[in-house]
Homo-oligomer: A and B are copies of this chain.
Amino acid sequence: MREGNCLVEAFNQTRYRISGHSRRNVQVLKEAFQSIEGQLESDMYGGGKVIEEFQEKMASYLGKEATIFFPSGTMAQQVALRIWCDRKGIRKVAYHPLSHLEIHEEEGLKKLHLIEPILLGDKNRVVELEDIVSQAGDVSCVLLELPQREIGGQLPDYNTLVSISEYCREKGIKLHLDGARLYEVLPYYQKSATELCELFDSVYVSLYKGIGGIAGAILAGESDFIKESKVWKRRHGGDLISLYPYIISADYYFDLRINNMERYYQEAMELAGFFNKSYSAFTIPKVPVSNMFHVHFNEAKENVETILMELYQATGIGWTGSVKATSDSSCYFEVSIGDRYREIPQAELKKAFQMLDERMKAIQ
């Protein structure tokens, strides 16, 4: 615990960061609103120009009939799964064992919607068609998360997606995309958002991860599905009188960063290469398929943290504020490339990796 807090403190002192776009501070909002006229009217309970225009823009980008802005992905996805369950009359869905719904939402899906999840396949790999065929049974909906964040952002082949989509349609199972990091996987698949979303009946995308907005999510699908979502959004308490602080910033950062995804992906591959060439670290996936990956060490968390703190102080480069133990003698941290990576001086980055090798060798 003490070590962990020290790492955060050391991380907070660093000048450069390998992950993210910028500090999550009020400046993010100020920048987005700088060129917005004060006279622009607020949205009102889901209506009004600000929200409707953004929803239409996202519908067009995702190639879906309609979209609806939600304050959070947690709310958007529960609502999507509830609608599909109600339509089929079966409160069962299937997803990866490390889905956000399973591990980060305090069982909202079960407690609020009484929906039973079937955990597909193995937690250490992505969901394959065989998992769905053998395990999903009569579920109303299968949720796929692209990329699978908790295992470093891994992806199934595009052909696997196509075959899963075909299988689900054939079996009357709705296919939902947890696209929290959808934009970030498009360069790997070499597909447009529309092409990827065509495989899914409903799609959620985040507005604060790759895009770097303040908060918020978009749920996309056919018009009647979105109309029903609006009712559930109200029930959840998400139909706020004003959501414009999130919408305007999402819109601003979408335009600013949507075309940077290829660069983040290339930079993630470069950086993962540095880790894999180092003495003691390896990445999962070995070659990133998006802007993210996990950096693993066969070394105790406390030792890795101590070395990271030294590195931060010596180079001014912050790698992470949070290392997670996977056993007594192994640990990892997450990397997610954004605007900040390219600000790091190459010489300092090289020095950091040299130091990492030296220190790791010294404790063996």
Interface residues of A (CB under 8 A from B): 23-30, 33, 36-42, 44, 70-76, 78, 105-108, 111-113, 208, 214-215, 231-232, 234-246, 248
Contact = CB atoms under 8 A, between A and B. Distances in A.
B27 A39 contact: yes
Count this chain's copies in the assembly: 2
A42 B25 contact: yes
A311 B311 CA distance: 72
Contacts of A235: 105-108, 111-112
16 contacts: A24-B242, A26-B33, A26-B42, A27-B38, A28-B42, A29-B33, A29-B244, A72-B238, A74-B236, A75-B238, A108-B236, A112-B235, A208-B241, A214-B245, A215-B243, A236-B237
A37 B78 CA distance: 36
Contact of A105 (B42, B107, B208, B234): B234
B44 A26 contact: no
A71 to B, nearest CB: 6
In order of increasing CB-CB distance, the 4 nearest A-B pairs are A75-B237, A27-B38, A245-B245, A108-B235
A23 to B, nearest CB: 7
Contacts of A239: 72, 74
Contact of A74 (B23, B113, B231, B234): B234
B26 A72 contact: no
Contact of A236 (B41, B75, B240): B75
A151 B39 CA distance: 33
Contacts of A70: 237
Contacts of A74: 234, 236-237, 239
Question: Which of A23, A33, A42 has its CB near the most chain B CB atoms (within 10 A)?
Answer: A42
Nearest to A244: B26
A27 B111 CA distance: 39
A48 to B, nearest CB: 9
Contact of A237 (B111, B238, B241): B238
Nearest to A73: B237
Contacts of A73: 237
Given A74-B237, A106-B231, A245-B245, 20 more contacts: A24-B42, A24-B242, A25-B42, A26-B37, A30-B38, A42-B214, A70-B237, A71-B71, A71-B237, A72-B237, A74-B236, A76-B237, A78-B237, A106-B232, A108-B235, A214-B242, A215-B241, A215-B242, A236-B237, A245-B246
Given A112-B235, A235-B107, A240 B26 contact: no
A239 B242 CA distance: 17
A87 B279 CA distance: 55
A236 B42 contact: no
A311 B157 CA distance: 67
Contact of A30 (B26, B33, B242): B33
Contacts of A244: 26, 29, 214
